Chains A and B, each alone.
Chain A
């Protein structure tokens, strides 16, 4: 044993491999309820309980009314319905849990019961459900039938040009809401104007929010730029609430203030926030979140953004953390709140955990599947990277297609995106110029339109943006001024789109639960209620919507494959000529090795999957056989295109009893006449990575077998590439071309091959 192996011998090296995986950048925490690290249950959680005295709540979840903290008071007063509570609290939790997954129990009945349940009771019920059951119950219980999604639109420079381009892009991909925030607080007004303009490009109806300080956010809303808000945070313990600088009453007052300004609003809460703030009271994450959610219903907000949110990463460090995030989303919709279901802060570096995290929501649907899908690149996300980002947006589009699930997004082609980005940058530039705020140069605009992220833009400086933003604020520029500017500069369509959105305020229709705008219509839990009661009910993809979802870019068609193949033909005919001599015969000498080629070989198909011209393949195979001391003979099979049968048929024709079968795509086999079809001598199944040298050695080995030797088998080295996914669509189309040319009982044909000119 060398020094080195002795030093390392006490470790299986696979652990070192695992150390290098992105997963290991995640850190995991031990379950420790006393320190707040418990997802579903803590020994310090109260038992569900409730008592009335003279029609008034006397105790709730083990706390007497005289000991109620401010959260208890608010929940007992505004959430708990004393008419329902005695009935609901008396029901066994397991029974209620079963009702949640029973398609025959209507959503409306469960919503009614939730109004008589305390936070501990709600948490106790959902803790009986497995992750699968939670996802199913979520799908049944969410308020609006049609699913949707929300995007983050921010950039690292707070650049208004990029903001507009990216807002228009997010709108094109189908997001129902877009949310911005800024690196520098004073840039809020510039962001608001730019996003409002960008979101008015292409279509209208995407709701928009500018996350900023409470008073500023309301002012921006009043100036007409934004249409919703979701920064009103609530917490599950009194001390966290106070450290958050609010009370249930101050937040409820703010909720009413937003309503009074015609702005849609939801609260934010989520597991882990109390833990991060240091006041968890040793309670489980789920119980604290159940308190937050009862409080939100009590305040009368239409919805919530929950499922961890900023606390998602810490929640995902504990056992059951992701299941807990799903469970708290379920409580939200059970309480009849709109749910922007988290899937927001990037909780892991592992792409596998990201995919696993999103899947239940993608297939269950949600009012807003992500409460911030990063439509921009990770580094441009001023909220911090999301679970899914601009980098991964196409992965998500493909997941929609894979599962035929409506994740709220729609693929958009390259040309359309460029048109929209150009239009958005031109529109916001026109507004900046018309209002005397700035004059973007052609170079700035051009760099932004093409840029994937702000690293690639040549645009305003930070100081420029601050000046733009402050001027908008100081001059009290409102959405009316922006609409006028757009119209003046021949962006009448965008002006009209923006006006349509602001006009929604007058009726207030979009203040109702789960409201989004689709095709110019308000769609909410009022006029699109989730009526799921089993297969064939609830949300189903329409034909039209399915067509949109499946239309991802760059998909193969048979025509495309044939077109590519045909393009290789002219070069091949200068390199090789095939001449059919007549029916193949079996009487040849002992050194005769037959190469059985497939029906379309050199006729309709001209190269292997690896890109080798078929002329080159035949040249090296023949060379290998010849070098091995045998003679090669080419026979075209017309009764089969299967590699094994090509090989076996060739072997049975060969004087040596050894043959090679090869398909046009390059898959090959060395066979022997007395073997069973699928029990060959050597198989070359990895045609995409099989090199000419391997084919040459294949020929040499075939010759060796023919001479009764036992050569070293040819190994085509693989690194475990996912070749199936890369090639299978093309392979299947190519193979179909071969099988179409076969006919049962057709005799093999002897082919004379002449190599012309130089080798490819």
Chain B
């Protein structure tokens, strides 16, 4: 990946910059063919987005003047390798009244940071913990 951030001129990447589009296993878009699927060379894993692709799209979004969208893509990039059950557990914990205290959310943030390197998402969850405390959202609702 080049050091220069991508711009709107590079978009859509699949069309304008296929050279920078790779699956997690390093396959190119051309490798993702019907023949590949039928021969078993292409699996569902090859049809997942990568953290790199999300960061590339974040660069394009920022170049198009959409900083908040870029930030979301960057949070998404951090979650690419987080397993589905962990994602659903953390989501559930973020819902009102699920966590009994700030500590539970902080522990989830720590796990995301330490295990998956999801520092931006961790900061986001810690921030939620503070707001939930101030707005009394640690009350059980059912």
Tell me if A253 and B38 are in contact (CB < 8 A). Answer: no
Residues of B within 8 A of A218 (CB): 84, 87-88
Tell me if A507 and B76 are in contact (CB < 8 A). Answer: no
Tell me if A214 and B57 are in contact (CB < 8 A). Answer: no
Tell me if A508 and B8 are in contact (CB < 8 A). Answer: no
How many residues of chain A are within 8 Å of chain B by beta carbon? Answer: 68
Interface of B is mostly: helix
Question: In the complex, which residues 496-525 of chain A have their Cβ closer than 8 Å to any Cβ of chain B?
Answer: 496, 499, 502-509, 511-513, 521-522, 524-525
Tell me if B137 and A247 are in contact (CB < 8 A). Answer: yes
- Residue-wise interface mask of B (32-60) relative to A, using a CB-CB cutoff of 8 A (1 in contact, 0 not): 11100110001110111110011011001
Interface residue from A215, A245, A483, A522 paired with B14 (Cβ < 8 Å): A522
Tell me if B47 and A256 are in contact (CB < 8 A). Answer: no
* Given A249-B128, A256-B75, A507 and B12 contact (CB-CB distance below 8 Å): yes
Q: Within the complex, what minimum Cβ distance (angstroms) separates B122 from chain A?
A: 11
Tell me if B94 and A496 are in contact (CB < 8 A). Answer: no
B50 nearest CB neighbor, chain A only: A506
Residues of B within 8 A of A572 (CB): none
Residues of A within 8 A of B60 (CB): 512, 526
Residues of B within 8 A of A262 (CB): 48-49, 53
Interface residue from B14, B32, B37, B68 paired with A298 (Cβ < 8 Å): B68
Residues of B within 8 A of A252 (CB): 72, 75, 124
Docked pose: A258 CA to B94 CA in angstroms: 16
Interface residue from A215, A300, A336, A527 paired with B12 (Cβ < 8 Å): A527
Docked pose: A662 CA to B82 CA in angstroms: 83
Tell me if A507 and B70 are in contact (CB < 8 A). Answer: no
Residues of A within 8 A of B73 (CB): 259, 300, 508, 511
* Given A505-B49, A511-B57, A527-B8, A253 and B121 contact (CB-CB distance below 8 Å): yes
Among A17-25, A219-227, A579-587, A702-710, the one that faces the other chain is A219-227
Q: Does B119 contact A (CB under 8 A)?
A: no
* Given A224-B47, A242-B137, A249 and B75 contact (CB-CB distance below 8 Å): no
Residues of A within 8 A of B72 (CB): 252, 255-256, 259, 299-301
Q: Within the complex, what minimum Cβ distance (angstroms) separates B11 from chain A?
A: 5
Interface residue from B33, B37, B94 paired with A484 (Cβ < 8 Å): B37
Interface residue from A111, A241, A261 paired with B48 (Cβ < 8 Å): A261
How many residues of chain B are within 8 Å of chain A by beta carbon? Answer: 64
* Given A492-B34, A505-B47, A512-B61, A246 and B95 contact (CB-CB distance below 8 Å): yes
B28 nearest CB neighbor, chain A only: A506
- Residue-wise interface mask of B (61-76) relative to A, using a CB-CB cutoff of 8 A (1 in contact, 0 not): 1001110111111011
Interface of A is mostly: helix
Residues of A within 8 A of B65 (CB): 108, 111-112, 336
Q: Does A350 contact B (CB under 8 A)?
A: no
Residues of A within 8 A of B8 (CB): 526-527
Q: Does A480 contact B (CB under 8 A)?
A: yes
How many residue pairs bridge A and B at CB < 8 Å? Answer: 205
Q: Does A592 contact B (CB under 8 A)?
A: no
A522 nearest CB neighbor, chain B only: B12
* Given A250-B95, A507-B12, A238 and B135 contact (CB-CB distance below 8 Å): yes
Interface residue from B11, B23, B80, B131 paired with A73 (Cβ < 8 Å): B131
Tell me if B49 and A256 are in contact (CB < 8 A). Answer: no
Tell me if A526 and B49 are in contact (CB < 8 A). Answer: no
Tell me if A479 and B47 are in contact (CB < 8 A). Answer: yes
Q: Does A412 contact B (CB under 8 A)?
A: no
Tell me if A260 and B76 are in contact (CB < 8 A). Answer: yes
Docked pose: A79 CA to B71 CA in angstroms: 12
Docked pose: A69 CA to B135 CA in angstroms: 7
Q: Within the complex, what minimum Cβ distance (angstroms) separates B40 from chain A?
A: 9
Question: In the complex, which residues 630-672 of chain A have their Cβ closer than 8 Å to any Cβ of chain B?
Answer: none
Tell me if A256 and B76 are in contact (CB < 8 A). Answer: yes
Question: In the complex, which residues 1-16 of chain B have their Cβ closer than 8 Å to any Cβ of chain A?
Answer: 8, 11-15
Residues of A within 8 A of B21 (CB): 506-507
Q: Does B127 contact A (CB under 8 A)?
A: yes
* Given A506-B29, A512-B61, A214 and B15 contact (CB-CB distance below 8 Å): no
Residues of A within 8 A of B76 (CB): 256-260
Docked pose: A521 CA to B77 CA in angstroms: 24
Q: Does A137 contact B (CB under 8 A)?
A: no
Question: In the complex, which residues 297-348 of chain A have their Cβ closer than 8 Å to any Cβ of chain B?
Answer: 297-302, 336
Tell me if A247 and B15 are in contact (CB < 8 A). Answer: no
Q: Within the complex, what minimum Cβ distance (angstroms) separates B141 from chain A?
A: 8
Residues of B within 8 A of A715 (CB): none
Tell me if B70 and A300 are in contact (CB < 8 A). Answer: yes
Tell me if A480 and B34 are in contact (CB < 8 A). Answer: no
A480 nearest CB neighbor, chain B only: B44
Tell me if A261 and B49 are in contact (CB < 8 A). Answer: yes
Tell me if A249 and B12 are in contact (CB < 8 A). Answer: no
Tell me if A507 and B13 are in contact (CB < 8 A). Answer: yes
Interface residue from B11, B34, B96 paired with A527 (Cβ < 8 Å): B11
Tell me if B75 and A506 are in contact (CB < 8 A). Answer: no
Docked pose: A487 CA to B96 CA in angstroms: 46
Q: Within the complex, what minimum Cβ distance (angstroms) separates B142 from chain A?
A: 10
Q: Does A78 contact B (CB under 8 A)?
A: yes
Q: Does A478 contact B (CB under 8 A)?
A: yes
Residues of B within 8 A of A480 (CB): 37, 42-44, 47
20 A-B contacts, Cβ less than 8 Å apart? A70-B137, A108-B65, A249-B124, A250-B94, A253-B94, A256-B79, A257-B76, A259-B77, A261-B48, A261-B49, A297-B68, A302-B69, A487-B37, A499-B32, A499-B37, A506-B50, A508-B54, A512-B60, A524-B11, A527-B8
10 shortest interchain CB distances as A-B pairs = A300-B72, A259-B76, A262-B49, A249-B128, A250-B94, A260-B79, A256-B75, A509-B12, A507-B14, A300-B68
- Please give 14 more A-B residue pairs, beta carbons under 8 A apart, in addition to A508-B57, A509-B13: A70-B137, A242-B96, A250-B94, A250-B96, A259-B77, A260-B87, A298-B68, A301-B69, A478-B44, A484-B37, A487-B34, A495-B37, A508-B73, A513-B66
